[in-house]
């Protein structure tokens, strides 16, 4: 069994997602089941509904699970196993108050010594403290394990002193719940963030105390650095998976990017399923990797290119494959769905023909826009056959407006796309032509003047 174990205490960031992807891939490669374990042991920090949000995100990324459990449903089992350890004399009640431990911590600090829990303290406050915690006895010999990324790691007994496994309210700690559940669900390999490296010897200690002999494999993923080179924090918006999706990065592109980070892959652009053939966690670089949004943009564009027009249409909230085709053409100058949506919005919005909007070195095409607008409206109204293809439209419009060169093409582009620059009109017109009624519209302020002026212009 492989597992991904999110805590419902915050949003999924790309580091979490990366761990989820790798656990999923290994499950598929080794024909094992994939478990999602919601680690809701921190009752005060759990956020209502966050579990559902995480699950729908995993679903969106196609990381489908065979089994779903909530750690809190196993609290009774955790408590029973803690009792078992007490009976075996491998765990004990500790009555130390927080104040007492704090004073010991201060003492150690004053003596410039590392703080170490001393078992002699356990019952000193037995008569005043009614809510003891349960601690497991610390390691008595070196604990080491092989990390598939970091290599051989060893921890000395002084690094693993007697730590809390059941808190004073009877709730298991992260390390205990995690180790017990990894055992109960027969987890064979754990991929998780580097911040958990020092938890691993503690979890191994728990397994050993419980007499669990299975040796689990571990891979601790190096941290992801922001563009500035420091650890990516919540303040880096790109660290949030939700933000990346909002920006219009496709799940398949994000997956492609997260698998490629700090890795050598036989293909640059690939789908999750393709990586099953060659992915090897051992190839993931040990050193931290920098998040490179430019690379993600490149991959996003490549994945968008693979979509057909119908698929594209759905992504820009349309059922019309002509809209999909139009969106796809814009990949020439955009890399995310948002950038494409922005272009499409400009095409379909009423056109603002005032100077500021088409302004480029003070030029303005207000008059020309009005002239072309009036002619186009007439042609649309009379279902003019010249509207059927770009060449005929261009010729008819030029002839009727008497405009040419820049004074013809710029205003035409403004009326058809809402922009002064962009793709070849001949390239997009075949798709635009189905929506001319929606596209050839002026914004409210321009309409009043234009009706008067352009009628005049045509007469002239």
Binding site for ligand GLU (CB under 6 A): 5-7, 39, 178, 192, 196
3-state SS class at 94: strand
Q: C-beta of 218: minimal distance to ligand GLU in Å?
A: 10
Distance CA(172)–CA(452), nearest Å, equals 78
Question: Looking at beta carbons, which residue is closest to ligand GLU?
Answer: 192
Q: C-beta of 238: minimal distance to ligand GLU in Å?
A: 19
DSSP string, 125-182: TTTT-S--EEEEPPPSS-EEEEETTTEEEEE-GGGS--EEEE-TTSPBPHHHHHHHHH
Residue 292 CA: distances (Å) to CA of 13, 227, 249: 15, 7, 13
Q: C-beta of 426: minimal distance to ligand GLU in Å?
A: 53
- Residue 68: beta bridge partners? 36
Distance CA(218)–CA(239), nearest Å, equals 24
Nearer to ligand GLU, 192 or 413 (CB): 192
Residue 133 CA: distances (Å) to CA of 172, 355, 440: 10, 73, 73
The region that residue 93 occupies, defined by phi over 0 for left and psi between -120 and 50 for alpha, beta otherwise, is beta
Distance CA(201)–CA(190), nearest Å, equals 13
Nearer to ligand GLU, 7 or 32 (CB): 7
Q: C-beta of 361: minimal distance to ligand GLU in Å?
A: 55
Neighbours of 259 (CB within 10 A): 20
Q: C-beta of 33: minimal distance to ligand GLU in Å?
A: 16
Nearer to ligand GLU, 42 or 384 (CB): 42
Tokens coding 9: 């205490």
Tokens coding 318: 């349309």
DSSP 36: E
DSSP string, 206-262: HHHHTT-----EEEEEPPEE-TTSSBP-TTSGGGBHHHHHHTT--HHHHHHHHHHTT
Nearer to ligand GLU, 218 or 373 (CB): 218
Nearer to ligand GLU, 6 or 422 (CB): 6
Nearer to ligand GLU, 39 or 368 (CB): 39
Nearer to ligand GLU, 196 or 410 (CB): 196
234 is in an annotated binding site: yes
Distance CA(341)–CA(347), nearest Å, equals 10
Q: C-beta of 204: minimal distance to ligand GLU in Å?
A: 13
Q: C-beta of 50: minimal distance to ligand GLU in Å?
A: 12
Distance CA(310)–CA(146), nearest Å, equals 48
Q: C-beta of 267: minimal distance to ligand GLU in Å?
A: 28
Nearer to ligand GLU, 179 or 376 (CB): 179
For the annotated binding site for ATP, the residues are 234
């Amino acid at each position: 069994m492989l597992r991904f174990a999110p805590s419902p205490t915050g949003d999924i960031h790309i580091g979490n997602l990366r761990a989820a992807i790798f656990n999923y891939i290994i499950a598929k490669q080794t024909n094992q089941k994939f478990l999602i374990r919601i680690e809701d042991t921190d009752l005060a920090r759990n956020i209502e509904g966050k579990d559902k949000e995480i699950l729908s995100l995993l679903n969106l990324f196609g990381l489908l699970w065979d089994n779903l459990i909530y750690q809190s449903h196993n609290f009774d089992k955790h408590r029973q196993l803690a009792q078992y350890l007490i009976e075996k004399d491998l765990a004990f009640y500790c009555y130390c108050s927080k104040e007492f431990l704090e004073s010991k911590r201060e003492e150690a600090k004053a003596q410039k010594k590392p703080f170490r829990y001393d078992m002699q303290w356990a019952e000193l406050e037995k008569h005043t403290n009614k809510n003891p915690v349960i601690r497991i006895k610390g390691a008595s010999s070196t604990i080491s394990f092989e990390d598939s990324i970091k290599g051989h790691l060893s921890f000395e007994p002084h690094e693993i002193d007697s730590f809390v496994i059941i808190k004073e309210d009877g709730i298991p700690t992260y390390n205990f719940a995690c180790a017990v559940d990894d055992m109960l669900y027969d987890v064979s390999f754990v991929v998780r963030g580097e911040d958990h490296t020092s938890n691993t010897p503690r979890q191994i200690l728990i397994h050993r105390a419980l007499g669990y002999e299975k040796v689990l494999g571990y891979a601790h993923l190096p941290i992801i650095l922001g563009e500035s080179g420091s650890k990516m924090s919540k303040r880096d918006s790109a660290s949030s998976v939700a933000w990346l999706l909002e920006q219009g990065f496709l799940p398949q592109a994000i997956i492609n990017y997260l698998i490629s980070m700090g890795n050598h892959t036989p293909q640059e652009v690939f789908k999750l399923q393709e990586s099953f053939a060659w992915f090897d966690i051992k190839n993931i670089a040990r050193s931290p990797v920098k998040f490179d949004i430019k690379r993600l943009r490149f991959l996003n564009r490549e994945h968008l290119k693979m979509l057909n027009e119908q698929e594209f249409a759905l992504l820009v909230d349309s059922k019309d494959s002509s809209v999909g085709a139009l969106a796809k053409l814009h990949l020439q100058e955009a890399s995310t769905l948002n950038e494409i949506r922005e272009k499409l919005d400009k095409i379909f919005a009423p056109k603002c023909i005032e100077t500021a909007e088409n302004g480029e070195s003070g030029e303005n095409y207000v008059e020309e826009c009005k002239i072309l607008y009036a002619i186009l409206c007439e042609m649309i109204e009379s279902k003019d056959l010249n509207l059927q293809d770009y060449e005929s439209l261009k010729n008819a419009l030029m002839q009727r407006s008497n405009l040419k060169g820049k004074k013809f093409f710029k205003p035409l582009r403004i009326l058809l796309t809402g922009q002064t620059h962009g793709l070849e009109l001949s390239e997009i017109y075949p798709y635009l032509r189905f929506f001319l009624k929606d596209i050839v519209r002026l914004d409210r302020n321009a309409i009043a003047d234009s009706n008067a002026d352009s009628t005049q212009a045509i007469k002239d």
